[in-house]
Amino acid sequence: MSGEDAPVQQQNAVDQKQETKPAEEPKAEPPKTESPPAAAAAEAEATTEKVPEEEAFTYRALVLTGYGGYDKVKLQVKKGKPALKAGEVLVRVKACGLNFADLMARQGLYDRLPSPPVTPGMECSGVVEAVGEEVTDRKVGDKVMVLSRFGLWQEVAVVPANHTFLIPEGMSFEEAAALPVNYITAYMMLFDFGNLRPNQSILIHAAAGGVGTAATQLCKTVKDVTVFGTASASKHETITQGGVTHPIDYRTKDYVDEVRKISPKGLDIILDPLGGSDTHKAYNLLKPMGKLITYGAANMLAGQKKNLIAVAKNWYHQFSIHTLSLIQGNKSVCGFHLGYLEGETELITEAMNSILDLYKQDKIKPRIDSTWHLEQVGDAMRKMQERNNIGKVILTTEPMPEEEKKEEPKKEDKKDDKKKDDKKKDDKKKDDAKKEEKKDDKKKEEPKKEEKKEEEKEEPKKEEK
| Contact residues: a second copy, CB under 8 A | 188, 192-193, 195, 275, 279, 288-289, 291, 294-297, 318-337, 340-341, 344, 347
At its nearest, how many Å lie between a second copy and the CB of residue 259? 19
Closest CA to 441 of 382, 371, 377, 397: 382
Cross-strand partners of 52: none
CA distance 289 to 283: 12
At its nearest, how many Å lie between a second copy and the CB of residue 279? 6
At its nearest, how many Å lie between a second copy and the CB of residue 188? 7
At its nearest, how many Å lie between a second copy and the CB of residue 274? 11
- Residue closer to a second copy (CB basis): 147 or 188: 188
CA distance 383 to 399: 21
At its nearest, how many Å lie between a second copy and the CB of residue 322? 5
- Residue closer to a second copy (CB basis): 340 or 453: 340
- Residue closer to a second copy (CB basis): 340 or 422: 340
CA distance 78 to 12: 6
Burial-class residue 312 by CB neighbours within 10 Å (0-12, 13-18, 19+). Answer: exposed
CA distance 269 to 286: 7
Closest CA to 203 of 276, 133, 279, 152: 279
- Residue closer to a second copy (CB basis): 252 or 330: 330
Phi, psi angles (nearest 5°) of residue 107: -90, 0
CA distance 427 to 226: 29
Cross-strand partners of 368: 392
Looking from the CA of 258 toward its CB, the CA atoms found within 13 Å total: 16
CB 183 within 8 A of CB 219: no
CA distance 336 to 351: 14
End-to-end alpha carbon distance in the chain: 21
Amino acid, res. 120: P
At its nearest, how many Å lie between a second copy and the CB of residue 288? 5
At its nearest, how many Å lie between a second copy and the CB of residue 462? 37
- Residue closer to a second copy (CB basis): 336 or 372: 336
- Residue closer to a second copy (CB basis): 255 or 336: 336
- Residue closer to a second copy (CB basis): 183 or 295: 295
At its nearest, how many Å lie between a second copy and the CB of residue 3? 32
- Residue closer to a second copy (CB basis): 77 or 109: 109
- Residue closer to a second copy (CB basis): 327 or 433: 327
Q: Residue 208: how many CB atoms within 10 A of its CB? A: 27
- Residue closer to a second copy (CB basis): 166 or 321: 321
Closest CA to 393 of 426, 420, 416: 416
At its nearest, how many Å lie between a second copy and the CB of residue 358? 18
Backbone angle region of 131, left / alpha / beta, with phi > 0 → left and psi within -120 to 50 → alpha: beta
At its nearest, how many Å lie between a second copy and the CB of residue 295? 7
At its nearest, how many Å lie between a second copy and the CB of residue 378? 27
CA distance 459 to 5: 13
Cross-strand partners of 294: 272, 335
Amino acid, res. 111: D
Pseudo-torsion of CA 341, 179, 378, 437, nearest 10°?
-70
- Residue closer to a second copy (CB basis): 240 or 332: 332
- Residue closer to a second copy (CB basis): 192 or 413: 192
At its nearest, how many Å lie between a second copy and the CB of residue 326? 3
CA distance 320 to 330: 16
CA distance 204 to 230: 7
Largest CA distance in the chain: 78
